[in-house]
DNA sequence: CTAGATGATTCTGC
DNA sequence: GCAGAATCATCTAG
């Protein structure tokens, strides 16, 4: 039995007919005794509403609302609705928060785009600046503020777009809700259905929002990578720092592995970080080993230097340890004479 | 502009 | 976690 027949049967039932009498629409019409206002006509009128002007439609709607058959039709619709809603239920279960959107939210929060205005942004910028390496000076500051400015720009665009979406979403939701409330006078619409419709709309808008979040994340990543690449924008250590490091290296050539304390001391002397000292020694060891010949001259130079220093120190305290390398094992020593000549 | 130098990063083995 | 090695990206002298 299709819906329309069921509806007619329902109406017939309401009109005091027995089920057995409901054979076809004609018999219903006959039994109702209203040939000029039969159900088919009413349905026809409902269908035609969409083709009419607003005023006509309003008038027609009013006429339908006042029609004596309206409550009966309404209850039949309710009955049909009940069935369909039952079949729909279960499909539309509450879905858990989208992990994708959660990931994007977390990232935007961490990058200081969606979080509180001051905290995250500058923190992220500071992190980027810190990652840029302990290169002290004006450049770090410029990069820092530049990064912050760019991030603020992204943040602003993100928020204005988000606001637009939210506004559009709430406007659209209101509009749909009003429409549904209005329609609920002519067809059965439960508050739950309205709720579900609102949820559907929100889902649609949140998928749009996800696109916004995604593109914002991409923008942040591009910005970030640009600034993280800047960490490779290195500065050579100044001459004095290189000298201090070389002095230590060549005077400890047998074991050019400064202890943690020695590294700290060197870092302080050279105004660089301990990890930079480690990098420097790492690079130096490998490059020295690879091409001892090339470093020979430099090695001799520093050997003389340390020898001279040692001499002046030993003049004051003859028992003091000479910084000159005894060179027992470890890296090959440069060949030099005690007076500094090759 | 280019080659070499140099600081930083990444990968691998211990 | 550290050191060695390879590699990257930039700096710098010519």
Closest nucleotide to A295, Cα to C1': B5
DSSP class of residue A92 equals S
* pLDDT reported for residue A222: 66
Query: What is the model's pTM?
Result: 0.46
Question: Of A6-15, A77-86, A185-194, which gets the smallest average pLDDT?
Answer: A6-15
Q: Specify the higher pLDDT residue, A62 or A223.
A: A62
Q: For A236 and B5, how far is CA from C1' in angstroms?
A: 10
Structural contact between residues A302 and A246, judged by C-beta atoms closer than 8 angstroms: yes
Protein-contacted bases of chain B (C-beta within 7 A): 5-10
- Cα–Cα distance measured from residue A108 to residue A126, given in angstroms and rounded to the nearest whole number: 16
Report the distance separating Cα A146 and Cα A142, nearest Å: 6
Q: Is any atom of strand B within 7 angstroms of residue A234's beta carbon?
A: yes
Q: Stated in angstroms, how far is A238 CA from C14 C1'?
A: 21
The reply to whether the CB atom of residue A257 sits less than 7 A from any atom in nucleic acid chain C is yes
Residue with tokens 């005091």: A16
For a pLDDT cut of 70, what percent of chain A falls above it? 63
Average pLDDT over residues A8-33: 44
How many CA atoms are closer than 13 Å to the CA of A238, on its beta-carbon side? 9
pLDDT at A128 over 70: no
The residues, any chain, with a CB within 8 Å of residue A196's CB and separated by 6 or more, are A92
Mean model confidence pLDDT for chain A: 71
d(CA A17, CA A31): 8
pLDDT of A317: 59
* CA separation for the pair A214, A207 (Å, rounded): 10
User: A42 pLDDT exceeds 50?
Assistant: yes
Q: How many angstroms separate the Cα of A181 from the Cα of each of A185, A187, A193, A194, A269?
A: 7, 10, 11, 8, 78
**Which of these, A314, A186, A329, lies nearest to A255 by C-alpha position?**
A329
Q: Distance (Å, rounded) from C-alpha A333 to C-alpha A331?
A: 6
Tokens of A334: 């440069």
Q: How far apart are CA A125 and CA A244, in angstroms?
A: 32
3 state SS of A254:
coil
């Amino acid at each position: 039995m299709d819906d329309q027949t069921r509806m007619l049967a329902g109406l017939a039932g309401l009109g005091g007919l027995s089920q057995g009498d409901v054979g076809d629409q004609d018999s219903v019409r006959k039994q109702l005794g209203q040939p000029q206002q039969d159900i088919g006509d009413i349905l026809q009128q409902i269908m035609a509403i969409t083709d009419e002007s607003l005023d006509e439609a309003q008038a027609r709607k009013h006429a339908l609302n006042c029609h004596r058959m309206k409550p009966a039709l309404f209850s039949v619709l309710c009955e049909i609705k009940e069935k369909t809603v039952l079949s729909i239920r279960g499909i539309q279960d509450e879905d858990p928060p989208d992990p994708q959107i959660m990931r994007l939210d977390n990232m935007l929060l961490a990058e200081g785009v969606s979080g509180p205005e001051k905290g995250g942004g500058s923190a992220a910028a500071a992190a980027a600046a810190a990652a840029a390496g302990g290169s002290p000076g004006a450049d770090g500051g410029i990069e820092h503020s530049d990064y912050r400015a760019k991030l603020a720009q992204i943040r602003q665009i993100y928020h204005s777009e988000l606001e637009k979406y939210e506004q559009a979403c709430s406007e659209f939701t209101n509009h749909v809700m009003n429409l549904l409330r209005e329609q609920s006078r002519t067809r059965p619409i439960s508050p739950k259905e309205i709720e579900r419709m609102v949820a559907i709309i929100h889902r649609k808008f949140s998928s749009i929002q996800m696109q916004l979040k995604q593109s914002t994340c991409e923008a942040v990543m591009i910005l970030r990578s640009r600034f993280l690449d800047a960490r490779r924008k290195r500065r050579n250590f100044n001459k004095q720092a290189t000298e201090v490091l070389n002095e230590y290296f060549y005077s400890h050539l047998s074991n050019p592995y400064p202890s943690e304390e020695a590294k700290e001391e060197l870092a302080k002397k050279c105004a660089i970080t301990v990890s930079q000292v480690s990098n420097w020694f790492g690079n130096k060891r490998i490059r020295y080993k690879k091409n001892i010949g090339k470093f020979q001259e430099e090695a001799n130079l520093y050997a003389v230097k340390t020898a001279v220093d040692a001499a002046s120190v030993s003049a004051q305290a003859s028992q003091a340890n000479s910084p000159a390398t005894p060179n027992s094992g470890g890296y090959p020593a440069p060949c030099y004479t005690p007076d500094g000549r090759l």
